């Protein structure tokens, strides 16, 4: 099935650490990595850490019915609760809450308003009632909860993910830049870090958080619980715009093709939702239950792929995607990346080809959202795999080059081999001299393909 999803259009695979044991993940990882040999393409694996889960305690006779307008108590007494009170086993919340704050229960189905806070007792008024059963989730949208984004479980899961060669780590429950800094310290450069923007407090410090991260995810599920639903679409655009401006990949996730969990085709509203994320300039669009537990996983991926192809074929797509202004930084690499798009349009090039060690050149080019494919060549497997989340990038692991002439020859061969161009086409090349030095992008070169590059080449296939 993983191979089928890959053929249907999946570029990256998310492993959700909220479910299952570590041993259960190893066959999944092996199956994903096994795709690399027959396809000749790197695979990308994102490990999604669970983060802190706030929950109420248990009830003597669940479910209980909370009635709108009545009082409900949250305390630290472990005695099973009833319709009047229940345990809240998170002392940090007692310290953080203030009078007037909202508490949301069971994915936002029930709403409580805090009327009084003590050291071991929180009194609330029930604003939206309903049934409540054991261990249901609690959201605290109006305050920054003094909890670290990484629990002990997350730390164990992170160690496992790094041992398994994770390409990306997704950090949940991000509230402040310090959460990102702590995760980066623990990762130690062994994987790239994606922050899930799912807490209102993260929106308040969005630029600071994204400056420290390698990528962002618009986690619309939790955002839609903690905020009114109508606020999520503008925030989606703001997060995408901020990430693009900073040159960080951005993923849009949650309920994108929700009806395809059970149905072979999506609703027209869902198709429009996916298309909107693409028009906004998202680097990646993500399926969750549709491909993890649904009845139509392959069809869901294929539908996502068809929507993306259709949107990008729209004559108005280029104008819409460039609504977001991505001004180049005052660096040679940024100046060349911005110029590459203009050259592509002027000479009608079929593609852009870049050499990179760290992936930074590819990220700078992708930030400009060029109108042609981007072939990324790198000698580092870890770099090739991480680029699976990057907009428009087709990453290939190759042997390194030692000279400008070798770089040009190899680029022309790889462009032909991977279908980026054909005989007679022009291609824009970008690299850094001296070769093998990360962050030294300083060459922009235009070549014309003759079609003879592969005929005369007798070296190894990977070259």
Do 218 and 280 lie in one domain? The reply is: yes
- Asked whether residue 463 is assigned to any structural domain, the reply reads no
- In angstroms, rounded to a whole number, what is the distance separating the alpha carbons of residues 246 and 243? 5
Do 170 and 120 lie in one domain? The reply is: no
pLDDT tier, 438 (very low <50, low <70, confident <90, very high otherwise): low
- Does 337 score more than 90 pLDDT? no
Range of the domain at 407: 332-448
What is the average pLDDT across 423-437?
83
- Asked whether residue 453 is assigned to any structural domain, the reply reads no
Which residues share a beta bridge with 111?
104, 128
Question: Burial, 365: exposed, middle or buried (Cβ in 10 Å; 0-12, 13-18, 19+)?
Answer: buried
Q: What is the pLDDT of residue 453?
A: 74
The 8-class DSSP code of residue 215 comes to: E
- Does 176 score more than 60 pLDDT? yes
- Does 145 score more than 80 pLDDT? yes
Q: What is the pLDDT of residue 404?
A: 84
- Asked whether residue 42 is assigned to any structural domain, the reply reads yes
* Max Cα–Cα distance, the chain, nearest Å: 82
pLDDT tier, 44 (very low <50, low <70, confident <90, very high otherwise): very high
| Cβ contact 96:145 at 8 Å | yes
- Asked whether residue 57 is assigned to any structural domain, the reply reads no
| Cβ contact 290:297 at 8 Å | yes
- In angstroms, rounded to a whole number, what is the distance separating the alpha carbons of residues 169 and 189? 11
pLDDT tier, 456 (very low <50, low <70, confident <90, very high otherwise): low
- In angstroms, rounded to a whole number, what is the distance separating the alpha carbons of residues 282 and 305? 14
- In angstroms, rounded to a whole number, what is the distance separating the alpha carbons of residues 30 and 35? 9
The 8-class DSSP code of residue 55 comes to: B
- In angstroms, rounded to a whole number, what is the distance separating the alpha carbons of residues 15 and 164? 12
Q: What is the CATH number of the domain that holds 304?
A: 3.20.20.60
Strand ranges of the sheet holding 71-75, from the earlier edge strand across to the other edge: 85-87, 71-75, 121-128, 110-117, 102-105, 138-139
Q: What is the CATH number of the domain that holds 394?
A: 3.40.1380.20
- Does 254 score more than 90 pLDDT? yes
Do 168 and 254 lie in one domain? The reply is: yes
Name the domain count of the chain: 3
**Maximum mean pLDDT: which of 87-101, 178-192, 421-435:** 178-192
Higher pLDDT, 330 or 299: 299
Q: What is the mean pLDDT of the chain?
A: 92
User: Which of the listed residues 139, 162, 192 is the one where a domain comes to its end?
Assistant: 139
What is the average pLDDT across 308-317?
95
Question: Burial, 442: exposed, middle or buried (Cβ in 10 Å; 0-12, 13-18, 19+)?
Answer: middle
Q: What is the pLDDT of residue 458?
A: 54
Do 104 and 247 lie in one domain? The reply is: no
Q: What is the pLDDT of residue 431?
A: 83
Q: What is the pLDDT of residue 124?
A: 97
As a whole number of Å, the CA-based R_g of the chain is 25
- Does 460 score more than 70 pLDDT? no
Positions annotated as catalytic residues are 14, 55, 196, 254
What is the average pLDDT across 357-374?
91
Q: What is the pLDDT of residue 309?
A: 96
- Asked whether residue 107 is assigned to any structural domain, the reply reads yes
The 8-class DSSP code of residue 261 comes to: G
- Does 134 score more than 60 pLDDT? yes
- Does 177 score more than 80 pLDDT? yes
- Asked whether residue 459 is assigned to any structural domain, the reply reads no
Do 109 and 22 lie in one domain? The reply is: no
Which residues share a beta bridge with 429?
353, 445
Q: Report pTM.
A: 0.91
pLDDT tier, 55 (very low <50, low <70, confident <90, very high otherwise): very high
């Amino acid at each position: 099935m993983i191979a089928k999803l890959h053929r249907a259009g999946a570029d990256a695979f998310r492993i959700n650490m909220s479910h299952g044991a570590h041993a259960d993940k190893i066959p999944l990882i092996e199956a994903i990595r096994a795709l690399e040999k027959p396809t000749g393409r790197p695979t990308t694996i994102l490990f999604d850490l669970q983060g802190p889960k706030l929950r109420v305690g248990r009830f003597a006779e669940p479910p209980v019915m909370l009635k709108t307008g009545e009082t409900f108590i949250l305390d630290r007494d472990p005695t099973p609760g009833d319709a009047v009170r229940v345990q809240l086993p998170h002392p940090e919340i007692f310290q953080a809450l203030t009078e007037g704050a909202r508490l949301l229960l069971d994915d936002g189905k029930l709403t409580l308003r805090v009327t009084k806070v003590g050291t071991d007792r929180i009194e609330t008024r029930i604003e939206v009632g309903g049934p409540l059963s054991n261990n249901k989730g609690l959201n605290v949208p109006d305050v920054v909860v003094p909890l670290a984004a990484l629990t002990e479980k997350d730390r164990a899961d992170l160690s496992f993910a790094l041992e398994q060669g994770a390409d990306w780590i997704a950090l949940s429950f991000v509230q402040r830049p310090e959460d990102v800094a702590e995760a980066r310290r623990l990762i130690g450069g062994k994987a790239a870090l994606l922050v899930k923007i799912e807490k209102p407090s993260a929106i308040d410090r969005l630029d600071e958080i994204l400056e420290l991260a390698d990528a962002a995810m618009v986690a619309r599920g939790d955002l839609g619980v903690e905020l009114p639903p109508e606020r999520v679409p503008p925030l989606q655009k703001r997060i995408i715009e901020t990430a693009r401006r900073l040159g960080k990949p951005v993923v849009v996730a949650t309920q994108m093709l929700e009806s395809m969990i059970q149905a072979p085709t999506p609703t027209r509203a869902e198709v429009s939702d996916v298309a909107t994320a693409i028009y906004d300039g998202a680097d990646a669009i993500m399926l969750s239950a549709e491909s993890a537990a649904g009845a139509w996983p392959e069809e869901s991926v294929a539908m996502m792929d068809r929507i993306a192809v259709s949107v990008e074929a729209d004559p108005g797509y280029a104008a819409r995607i460039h609504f977001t202004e991505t001004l180049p930084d005052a660096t040679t690499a940024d100046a060349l990346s911005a110029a590459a798009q203009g050259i592509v349009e002027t000479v009608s090039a079929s593609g852009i080809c870049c050499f990179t060690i760290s992936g930074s050149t590819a990220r700078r080019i992708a930030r400009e959202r060029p109108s042609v494919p981007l072939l990324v060549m790198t000698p580092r497997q870890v770099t090739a795999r991480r680029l699976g989340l990057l907009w428009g990038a087709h990453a290939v692991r190759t042997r390194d080059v030692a000279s400008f002439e070798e770089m040009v020859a190899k680029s022309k061969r790889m462009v032909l081999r991977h279908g980026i161009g054909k005989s007679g086409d022009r291609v824009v090349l970008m690299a850094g001299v001296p070769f093998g030095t990360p962050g030294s992008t300083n060459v922009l070169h235009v070549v014309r393909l003759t079609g003879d590059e592969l005929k005369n080449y007798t070296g190894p296939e990977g070259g």
